[in-house]
């Protein structure tokens, strides 16, 4: 499919995609041929407390978002009047606001500006376990078990531990819905957020009152769900009257610029990738960042124990979505490397070269082999199950923990490289486990389409392909998550008739990494060891 404009018209009109991740926010400016002209990035604060508490500030995030949009437009040197659409994605974090949109403290610090419970915050494990024990039918659509990363356990935690905040809350937002509200004044929620993280039943267009009453959040049902969303719209839907005067001033854009209903960050990566080849159901979108997310689209609902969903129209309109992933992926590699005695030396060398430690170690590994597939031989005897933050899928087990086996007394950088390769293999085996579990339930895929900063290295992509047994495809888009959000903005602006048309027009393959037959046997044996280590720890952690 092609844009509704001709090529020259498309090149003179622009859309902006904004991605708010865990530690930073980015804005990318694209023309309507899908070419990214500029990108701007700023870090955002993360506040940690004892235990599993992780918080952020919606005020800071909004200010950062406005700043990077201004920077991206200025860097591209385009006329702000040429920006016709704006799309947002963000982590599935919970924003809590009082009357007039004032922030409310969500944790023991008591600081009102810390009004976001971050997705990775696991304070609500007990609440999630109580909800799961009740076995409500709505849990069928989250893989049978709700996660403490989702929003209803977190809101229940607030009711039980911060009752004044719960009572004073005017709105509970998923972060991306907060951003679109700030931009437009429109309280509409995205089908993506409320279906994937709040138990909204999209295929029946309703909240389940019985669920909220059963778990102890009856007030939300009594109020007609006014605090969590009464207007639910598909991603890409134009909101309100576009940018408000106030938001436009803050962003340096024109009032009325179209703003799309947004998406969770990983799902935007899916929109930016699964259109490759024209058949979204053949592609598993794998967003490899701080955590990882796997997204599989099917024409009919497929129920996979331990895998979230099936969610209707949560990513590709009109299709069902199964969502898995790993609670720690890039973060697991960071954690793994930090343990090693050579980490300080390697970190210093990496910084001297202006690189992250994983990127530096990846280059070292690449230099030791003639082909990336041979890197697995560097990790002989070393095995990692990198579940430092639990198993998101296919076990939905927040209590799962990592296994590192085979370490000796080595303290050198070569051994650090070997540990890194073992960790990447572990990430790949976790991906294979999800793919195989879904296929057994009826949701098979032909290839993995990768996005996210942790998966940018050719070495990483090849090891993942070898470990999971599926071709790994890299899209042309350097920033597919930003492209996904920009696609939403382009649809809201009317540049494309719908999201599927925009996906097909703007997604292309840049490179494909096929699994290597030469190391298939090695990875098969290592995968069986991975499964055994998982099982041993499930038993051993009980005593």
Paired tokens of 260: 């799309």
37 burial type by CB count under 10 A (0-12 exposed, 13-18 middle, 19+ buried): middle
Domains 274-325+434-515 and 330-431+518-540 share a fold: no
* Amino acid 8: pLDDT: 53
- Going from N- to C-terminal start, the domains of the chain cover 7-263, 274-325+434-515, 330-431+518-540
Residue 210, number of CB atoms within 10 A of its CB: 12
Between CA 347 and CA 344 the distance in angstroms is 5
Task: Give the pLDDT confidence score for residue 2 in this predicted structure.
Answer: 41
The per-residue pLDDT for 543 is 84
Residue labelled with tokens 């049902």:
221
> What is the pLDDT at residue 3?
43
CA distances in angstroms from 297 to 264, 281, 367, 541, listed in the order given: 16, 5, 38, 35
CA separation (Å) from 145 to 88, 126, 131, 160, 294? 28, 13, 8, 21, 17
Structure tokens at 155: 């809101």
Q: Are strands 94-97 and 116-117 parallel, antiparallel or unpaired?
A: antiparallel
Contact 235, 191 (CB under 8 A): yes
Residues contacting 223, CB < 8 A, separation 6+: none
Give this prediction's pTM. 0.85
Contacts of 151 (CB under 8 A, 6+ apart): 92, 94, 172, 174, 197, 198
| Residue numbers of the chain with a pLDDT score lower than 70 | 1-11
Into which CATH architecture does domain 7-263 fall?
2-Layer Sandwich (3.30)
Q: Which CATH architecture has domain 274-325+434-515?
A: 2-Layer Sandwich (3.30)
Record: fold of 330-431+518-540? Methane Monooxygenase Hydroxylase; Chain G, domain 1 (1.20.58)
CA distance 362 to 503: 31
d(CA 342, CA 179): 42
**Residues 234, 261: contact at Cβ < 8 Å?**
yes
Q: What is the dihedral of CA 267, 269, 270, 271, to 10 degrees?
A: 90
Report pLDDT for 4. Answer: 45
């Amino acid at each position: 499919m092609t844009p509704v404009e001709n090529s020259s018209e498309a090149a003179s009109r622009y859309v902006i995609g904004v991605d708010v991740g865990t530690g930073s926010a980015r804005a990318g400016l694209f023309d309507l041929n899908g070419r990214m002209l500029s990108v701007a990035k700023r870090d955002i604060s993360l506040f940690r407390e004892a235990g599993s508490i992780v918080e952020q500030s919606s005020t800071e995030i909004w200010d950062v978002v406005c700043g990077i949009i201004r920077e991206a437009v200025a860097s591209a040197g385009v006329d702000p009047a040429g920006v016709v659409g704006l799309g947002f994605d963000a982590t599935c974090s919970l924003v809590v606001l009082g009357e007039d949109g004032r922030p409310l403290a969500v944790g023991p610090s008591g600081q009102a500006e810390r009004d976001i419970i971050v997705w990775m915050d696991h304070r609500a494990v007990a609440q999630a376990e109580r909800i799961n024990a009740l076995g409500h039918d709505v849990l069928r659509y989250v893989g049978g078990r709700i996660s403490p990363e989702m929003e209803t356990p977190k809101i229940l935690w607030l009711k039980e531990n911060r009752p004044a905040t719960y009572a004073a809350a005017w709105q509970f937002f998923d972060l991306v819905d907060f951003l679109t509200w700030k931009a437009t004044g429109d309280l509409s929620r995205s089908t993506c957020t409320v279906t994937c993280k709040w138990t909204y039943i999209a295929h029946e267009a309703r909240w389940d009152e019985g669920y909220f009453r059963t778990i102890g959040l009856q007030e939300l049902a009594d109020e007609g769900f006014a605090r969590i969303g009464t207007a639910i719209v598909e991603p890409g839907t134009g909101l309100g009257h576009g940018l408000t005067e106030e938001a436009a001033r803050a962003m340096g854009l024109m009032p009325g610029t179209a703003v799309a209903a947004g998406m969770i960050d990983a799902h935007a990566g899916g929109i930016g990738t699964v259109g490759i080849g024209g058949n979204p159901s053949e592609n598993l979108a794998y967003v490899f960042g701080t955590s990882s997310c796997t997204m599989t689209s099917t024409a009919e609902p497929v129920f996979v124990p331990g895998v979230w969903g099936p969610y209707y129209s949560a990513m590709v309109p009109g299709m069902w979505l199964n969502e898995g992933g790993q609670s720690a992926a890039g973060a697991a590699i960071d954690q793994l490397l930090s343990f090693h005695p050579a980490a300080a030396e390697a970190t210093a060398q990496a910084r001297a070269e202006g690189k992250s430690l994983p990127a530096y170690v990846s280059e070292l590994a690449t230099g030791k082999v003639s082909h990336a597939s041979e890197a697995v031989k560097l990790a002989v005897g070393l095995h990692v199950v990198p579940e430092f933050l639990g198993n998101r899928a296919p076990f939905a087990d927040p209590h799962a923990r990592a296994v590192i086996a085979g370490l000796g007394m080595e303290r050198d950088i070569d051994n650090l490289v070997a540990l890194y390769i073992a960790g990447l293999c572990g990430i790949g085996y976790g991906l294979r486990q999800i793919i195989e579990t879904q296929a057994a339930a009826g949701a098979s895929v032909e290839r993995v389409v990768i996005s996210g900063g942790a998966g940018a290295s050719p070495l990483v992509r090849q090891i993942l392909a070898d470990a999971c047994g599926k071709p790994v495809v890299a899209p042309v888009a350097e920033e597919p998550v930003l492209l996904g959000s920009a696609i939403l903005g382009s649809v809201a602006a009317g540049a494309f008739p719908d999201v599927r048309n925009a996906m097909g027009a703007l997604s292309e393959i840049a490179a494909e990494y096929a699994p290597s037959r030469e190391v298939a046997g090695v990875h098969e044996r290592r995968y069986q060891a991975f499964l055994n280590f998982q099982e041993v720890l499930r038993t051993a952690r009980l005593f």
